[in-house]
Amino acid sequence: MSTGEFGPRIGIAPDSWGVWNAVDPAQPGPEQYLREIREAGFQWTELGPFGYLGADVHAIRAKLTEHELAVSAGTVFTGLHRGAAELESAWPELARIAEFIQALGAEHLIVIPEMWQRGAAGLGAVESARTYSDDEWDALCRTHNELGRRLWNEFGLRQQFHSHAESPVGSEMEIRRLLAGTDSDFMNLCLDTGHYAYYFGDSVSLIETYPDRIGYLHLKQVNPVLLAHVLKNDVSFVEAVADGVMVEPPHGVPGYAEILAAAQKANPGIFAVIEQDMYPVGDFSLPLQIARRTHEYIASCGVPVTFSKGSHA
């Protein structure tokens, strides 16, 4: 029986352990992360910030094997709204990361646009444009098509664009424009349910409207009461996360059951990776507790899913 018949492949990401940086004493180390995600019942993981799990692909592969884990995707940030010259400048590093995650068995590269610029440490007033100009939109779409073509042709990786809070691609209107201007052969959407809800997006509706463009899921919930405060007072995303705007399910929105069912119908066997923004985590014992409860919540949603190869709940 194929994985797709079991339902979405449920994984988890270092973000759910409060990991935002490759090296940072404010976050749990990679040994704790790898050990605890298996203790929580997960097999699939993302690579996280490049370098967090290490820089030696052979050593990482050995660690993954030791913990019976597999990598679903890697992540990069890009500024391709600047055009072809930006892609050529960024390509050597992007290709290096693509080759690295391919060697670890990943299927996808998640690409996040540059976020708005605030002051030091992402705090203070927004200092950059919140939206793209028409010329930047055109450049963004062209260069992401080209990036996706290279990733597929050279590495067999699928590009999944991650719309993001506090970036020029976050709202439904912006995502619709992105999808209208790009080629489904080379770029689709990593739908982050929490980031989409940050701007009141309806994930189920988006999946049903664009079933062939949803290539990957990040499962995340947002606290709507705190979110209203954040948006009203222009609180930075960094501060909002530290204040707990992203919450463990089922204490926020959106619920996962309908999303998982719609995503499975649109893209059988899709990766659905739990990614609860919680930097800085503070108490290093919390992520495992939350991950276990999240595993139980997803298993109780009534949608067939796959937590590990050859098994489903």
Q: What is the pLDDT of residues 198-238, one digit of tens each?
A: 999 999 999 999 999 999 999 999 999 999 999 999 999 99
Q: What is the pLDDT of residues 172-202, one digit of tens each?
A: 999 999 999 999 999 999 999 999 999 999 9
pLDDT computed for residue 5 by the predictor: 55
* pLDDT at site 308: 82
Greater confidence (120 vs 71) lies with: 71
pLDDT at 3 over 50: no
CB atoms within 10 A of CB 208: 14
Residue-level pLDDT at 118: 93
Side chain identity at residue 110, one-letter code:
I
Q: What is the pLDDT of residue 1?
A: 28
- Predicted confidence (pLDDT) per residue in 263-310, tens digit: 999 999 999 999 999 999 999 999 999 999 999 999 999 999 999 865
Query: Across all residues in the chain, what is the average pLDDT?
Result: 95
Handedness of CA 225, 227, 230, 234 (dihedral sign): negative
Checking if the pLDDT of 22 tops 80, the result is yes
**Which pLDDT band, with edges at 50, 70 and 90, does 93 fall under?**
very high
DSSP letters for the chain: --HHHH--EEEE-GGGGT--SSS-TTS--HHHHHHHHHHTT--EEE--STTTT-S-HHHHHHHHHHTT-EEEEEEEEE-GGG-HHHHHHHHHHHHHHHHHHHHTT--EEEEEEPPPP-SGGG-SS--S-SS--HHHHHHHHHHHHHHHHHHHHHH--EEEEE--TTSSS-SHHHHHHHHHTS-TTT-EEEEEHHHHHHTT--HHHHHHHSTTTEEEEEE-EE-HHHHHHHHHTT--HHHHHHTT-EE-TTSSBS-SHHHHHHHHHHSTT-EEEE----SS--STTHHHHHHHHHHHHHHTSSS--BSBTTB--
Q: What's the whole-number mean pLDDT along residues 126-151?
A: 97
Looking at residue 312, what is its pLDDT?
45
Cα 221 vs. chain centroid, distance in angstroms?
A: 13
- Name the amino acid, one letter, at 266: A
All structural domains of the chain with their residue ranges:
3-299
pLDDT at residue 122, rounded to an integer: 86
- What number is the average pLDDT over the span 154-168? 98
Q: Is the pLDDT of residue 24 over 90?
A: yes
Cα(83)–Cα(191) distance, rounded to whole angstroms? Answer: 24
What percent of the chain shows pLDDT beyond 90?
Answer: 94
Model pLDDT, residue 179: 98
Q: What confidence category does residue 120 fall into, taking pLDDT thresholds of 50, 70 and 90?
A: confident
Give CATH for domain 3-299.
3.20.20.150
- Rounded CA-CA distance 277/226 in Å is 14
Q: Which pLDDT belongs to residue 309?
A: 62
> Which value, to the nearest 10 degrees, does the dihedral of the CA atoms of residues 193, 79, 55, 47 take?
10
Tokens 């609860």 identify what position?
Answer: 276
Phi, psi of 132 (to 5 degrees): -85, 150
State which amino acid sits at residue 86.
Answer: E
Q: 4 versus 220: which is more confidently predicted?
A: 220
